Structures are given as C-alpha cells and as structure tokens.
C-alpha cells in the first residue's frame, strides 16, 4: 500500500483535496451549481501545478544506453522518479541545483519508473519507493543509495575524491 501511495501520492492527494473542498462547501450549504465549478477550478490549479513541477522525462529509453552511461569511466548519479509522486515533485528544485553543480564531473541518469527502462532497472536494483537515488563509482559499482539527493560526502565517495 505505501509503495502505491508514494508513487501516485500527488494524484491521491489532489483528488482528496477536491473531494474535501466539495464536502466542505456542501456542509456550508453552498448550492451544487456553485460548489462543483469551484471544485473543478481547484482541480485545474492542482493539475497546472503538477505540469509545472513534475520531474522531467527519462534521460534514456533503452537499457543499453543506461548501461553504457554507468560504465563509461565517470561516476554516475541515477534518480528514479515517478511523475505522480509528491516526494519526487518536492525534491525537483534540489535535484536541478545538484545536477547543475555536478554535471561536468558526473553522468546523470534520470529514469521514470513507469517506463519500460524504469521497470527493468527497478527490478535490477530492487527498490520499492520513489524517489530513489543511486550513486555509482567510475567502475560502475553502486556505492550509495537513499530516498534523498546525495550530500557532498557521498558525491566525493563516488568520484574517488574522499
């Protein structure tokens, strides 16, 4: 249950908010013809926020491309995300800043877990929740994993600068 809630949390919370607004307006004795349009507007605002804040699309679409990136002699940061995960949406600004800081020294691979590549890599690296961050060293060996972006000491470990 928690894995489904995590991956689709934005969708669940958005529907919950819309239903909550509708219930509150009806308890306040708003007429249906006023309560329903206001609920729809709230839903459109949440949809617009999702469009602006959602994580981007996967950086690779095939397993061979991802494997080549992991084994090209550069340390690699892999981010597994879901387009519908509130946690993924909330860490997006931190991830964008991190990628900007490390893009010259690290490969970065972002993978949507709902794609074919995402399902294959998710099975290979056996994790249940998103977001999931993995760091691989220059030889392609996993050296760190967590549900939050890596800190400077983890990046140094992966790059061999510890």
- The helix (run of H) or strand (run of E) holding residue 129 is none
Q: Could you state, in order of their start, the residue ranges of all structural domains in the chain?
A: 2-53, 63-159
Q: What is the pLDDT of residues 22-63, one digit of tens each?
A: 999 989 988 888 888 999 999 899 888 777 766 666 677 788
Angle among Cα 80, 84, 89 to the nearest 5 degrees reads: 70
Q: Answer for the pair 81, 130: CB distance below 8 angstroms, yes or no.
A: yes
Distances (CA, A) of 52 to 49, 82, 130: 5, 15, 19
- The strands making up 132-136's β-sheet, listed across from edge to edge, are 107-112, 76-81, 132-136, 142-146
Average pLDDT, stretch 98-124? 90
CA pair distance 17, 34, nearest whole angstrom: 17
Average pLDDT, stretch 83-88? 82
pLDDT of amino acid 159: 81
Domain spanning 63-159, CATH class:
alpha beta
Confidence of residue 2 (pLDDT cuts 50, 70, 90): very low
CB count in 10 Å sphere of residue 24: 12
Contacts of 150 (CB under 8 A, 6+ apart): 77, 98, 133, 135, 144, 158
Confidence of residue 6 (pLDDT cuts 50, 70, 90): low
pLDDT of amino acid 56: 67
Q: Residue 160: which of 133, 140, 136, 137 has the closest Cα?
A: 137
Average pLDDT, stretch 93-108? 91
CA pair distance 95, 98, nearest whole angstrom: 5
Neighbouring-strand partners of residue 134: 78, 145
């Amino acid at each position: 249950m928690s894995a489904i809630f995590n991956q689709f949390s934005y969708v669940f919370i958005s529907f919950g908010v819309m239903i909550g607004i509708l219930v509150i307006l009806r308890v306040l004795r708003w007429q249906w013809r006023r309560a329903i349009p206001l609920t729809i507007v709230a839903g459109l605002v949440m949809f617009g926020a999702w469009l602006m804040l959602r994580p981007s699309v996967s950086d690779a679409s095939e397993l061979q491309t991802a494997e080549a990136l992991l084994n090209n002699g550069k340390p690699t940061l892999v981010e597994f995300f879901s387009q519908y995960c509130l946690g993924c949406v909330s860490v997006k600004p931190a991830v964008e800043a991190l990628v900007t800081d490390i893009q010259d020294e690290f490969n970065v691979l972002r993978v949507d877990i709902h794609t074919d590549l995402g399902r294959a890599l998710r099975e290979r690296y056996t994790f249940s929740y998103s977001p999931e961050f993995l760091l691989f060293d220059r030889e392609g060996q996993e050296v760190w994993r967590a549900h939050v972006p890596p800190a400077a000491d983890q990046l140094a470990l992966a790059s061999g600068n510890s």
